[in-house]
Structure 1
Amino acid sequence: MTKKKVDETTGVETTGHEWDGIKELNNPLPRWWLWTLYACIIWGVAYTVAYPAWPMISGATKGMLGFSTRAQVAEDIVAHEAKNNALVEELLAADLTALKPGDDLHRYAVARGGSVFRAQCSQCHGSGAAGAKGYPNLRDDDWLWGGDLETIVATIDHGIRNETDGDARWSEMPAFGEILSEEEIDQVVAFVGSLSGPAEDEAMVTAGAVVYEDNCSSCHMEAGTGDRETGAPNLADAIWLYGGDAATIKQTVKYSRFGVMPAWGQRLSDEDVSAVAVYVHNLGGGE
């Protein structure tokens, strides 16, 4: 049997560990610390029994109390929506064009629509709705199908060029690289560029006007002002979705563009569609 070692100075048993002549005393832990540790252990065991805690293959243990933060959040959402039921019904029945800034219903629609926009639309159109390359700026007056409230509602509801909604906005530009020669494409690019900026080569512009008249004017109109009925953009206003430099216009003419927007009416409630339309219209670009 190993004899216990005792420190001569303090008279306390040592652990047997020694570093550079310094011995480790085997002092007992403070009682208050031990009781705190025991209490934490008991609390931990009781907590895992009472509340969801241990991860399993397809979930976690439910706990004897059946508490769920998800259920609590769901209850809070239901309670919040119940408080807004009157405003929701009023919004659904309202003529959106008659809403006046400053009215309670208009403020509610803008607030609700802003939340929907930030959650569902900002990923493409930007947090400030200023758009990006390939995604329209919703703050200006350049609208492909129209910027009045009813038109915005229809665009949000049915989407653009999607295959899930039969009433989606639909327009499709041919890939003229398969129709025109390289020279004709360069000519029409020069003409289109001259509609909103100075002409760099008058001869190319003149030749391009003929190509444009024969191939593009039926959709974009003779003056290049576009047609909202068919979703043909205005080429004369210096506002470009993908870029207005010659190289980008040439790529657009040659290969076409085909942006798609989901039919949000299939994902959002009617009141959310109306609210986000009011929010977008309220940004300043609505007509």
Structure 2
Amino acid sequence: MAEKNIDEISGVETTGHEWDGIQELNNPLPRWWLWTFYATIVWAIAYTIAYPAWPLLKENTKGMLGFSSRQVVAEDIAKATEAQKVFLDKIAAMPVADIAKDQELSQFAMNGGAAAFKVNCAPCHGSGASGGPGFPNLNDNDWLWGGKVDDIYATINHGIRSEDPDTRTSEMPAFGEMLEPDQIKQVASYVVSLSGTPADAALVEPGKTVFAENCASCHGEDAKGGRDFGAPNLADAIWLRGEGEQAIINQVNKPKHGMMPAWAGRLSDATIKELAVYVHSLGGGE
């Protein structure tokens, strides 16, 4: 039998290993710790038998209890859908303007519309609906096609310059092919003067004449736009394509036209109504 090595200082048996004159003591783990560790092993084995656990080639083991977290989630979603059904049925059957007048139904629609907005609209209009260059801010009261809830519903439903037969359509001609560069500078100065200070005040009066002859038919004599055909208000200092005379010159020369898809057919009519109520509630609705 091998002789036991006892550490002289601690009086504890050593393992016989030594590093740089330091001996390793043979201190076993406490019994309670070992039994706890063994219990966790038994628990883990029992758990993998009772519940889905081991991955196989095509699926995983099902477990003796037949539990499925996916099934639990599906059941929870089904319960939530059933609870919402009474509201969704009302929304589907009611005109969108009447939904906005019903406080309880309107609150439900706004919550549903907010969720649908983040999924479908935020990529262009931003998560806060503040828009960006070429994408309208939906928080103000500047509307190309009208800010009543019915107008918003129609815009979402049919889109802007989409393939929908009832889509909203407006086209600004490229005046760079019709007007002289000096005339375009003049009309840009006039438009800026409606809400700010132009770089050259001497160009405002001739620009007013150019505007009356070429632009007033769509934007109106007062330049406040026309919502029947999507002509922007040019007198409110709210700009879709950029602010300043150069941005106006660029747009007059070669106008850019955005496109919004028609959501009819992509989303349910109830969801589109919820979106209309939500956008209308952002603070810019009429």
Give the TM interval when normalised to the shorter protein: 0.7 to 0.9
Matched with 1:220 is: 219
Relative distance call for 1:74 and 1:12 in structure 2 (3 A) is same
The answer to whether the 8 A contact 1:220-1:226 is kept is: yes
Q: How far apart, in 1, do the equivalents of 2:139 and 2:75 lie? A: 37
Matching of residues 73-222 of structure 1 within 5 Å: 73-99=73-99, 103-163=103-163, 165-222=164-221
**What is the SS of the residue equivalent to 2:18?**
strand
**What is the SS of the residue equivalent to 1:226?**
coil
Q: How far apart, in 2, do the equivalents of 1:114 and 1:76 lie? A: 21
| Identical pairs, percent | 52
Relative distance call for 1:201 and 1:110 in structure 2 (3 A) is same
Structure 1: 5+ residue stretches without partners? none
The answer to whether the 8 A contact 2:155-2:168 is kept is: yes
Q: How far apart, in 1, do the equivalents of 2:281 and 2:258 lie? A: 24
Residue deviations 1:10-65 (CA, integer Å, cap 9, x gap): 665423332453311223333332232233333334444544445678x7525335
**What is the SS of the residue equivalent to 1:266?**
coil
Q: How far apart, in 1, do the equivalents of 2:74 and 2:177 lie? A: 55
Q: How far apart, in 1, do the equivalents of 2:259 and 2:55 lie? A: 41
Q: How far apart, in 1, do the equivalents of 2:55 and 2:222 lie? A: 67
Relative distance call for 1:68 and 1:174 in structure 2 (3 A) is farther
The answer to whether the 8 A contact 1:4-1:13 is kept is: no
Q: 1:71 is aligned with what amino acid?
A: Q
Q: 2:129 is aligned with what amino acid?
A: A
TM-score, normalized by length of structure 2?
A: 0.83
Q: 1:276 is aligned with what amino acid?
A: L
Relative distance call for 1:199 and 1:71 in structure 2 (3 A) is same
Q: How far apart, in 2, do the equivalents of 1:250 and 1:215 lie? A: 14
Q: 1:242 is aligned with what amino acid?
A: R
Matched with 1:233 is: 232
Deviation at 1:92, TM superposition (A): 1.9
Deviation at 1:238, TM superposition (A): 1.8
Deviation at 1:107, TM superposition (A): 2.4
Q: How far apart, in 1, do the equivalents of 2:7 and 2:129 lie? A: 80
Give aligned pairs, total.
284
The answer to whether the 8 A contact 2:159-2:262 is kept is: yes
Q: How far apart, in 2, do the equivalents of 1:179 and 1:68 lie? A: 69
Q: How far apart, in 2, do the equivalents of 1:55 and 1:260 lie? A: 47
Residue deviations 1:240-259 (CA, integer Å, cap 9, x gap): 12333112222222332222
Relative distance call for 1:106 and 1:11 in structure 2 (3 A) is same
Range 72-81 or range 176-185, more displaced: 176-185
**What is the SS of the residue equivalent to 1:84?**
helix
Q: How far apart, in 2, do the equivalents of 1:71 and 1:262 lie? A: 35
Residue deviations 1:264-284 (CA, integer Å, cap 9, x gap): 333322222112211222233
2:260 maps to 1:277: no
**What is the SS of the residue equivalent to 2:150?**
helix
TM-score, normalized by length of structure 1?
A: 0.82
Matched with 1:25 is: 25
Q: How far apart, in 2, do the equivalents of 1:222 and 1:162 lie? A: 29
Matched with 1:266 is: 265
Compute the RMSD of aligned alpha carbons. Answer: 3.0
Deviation at 1:144, TM superposition (A): 0.4
Q: How far apart, in 1, do the equivalents of 2:217 and 2:207 lie? A: 15
Residue deviations 1:224-245 (CA, integer Å, cap 9, x gap): 2222222111112222123331
Range 243-252 or range 138-147, more displaced: 243-252
Q: 1:280 is aligned with what amino acid?
A: V
Matched with 2:243 is: 244
Q: How far apart, in 2, do the equivalents of 1:172 and 1:224 lie? A: 17
Q: How far apart, in 2, do the equivalents of 1:54 and 1:213 lie? A: 77
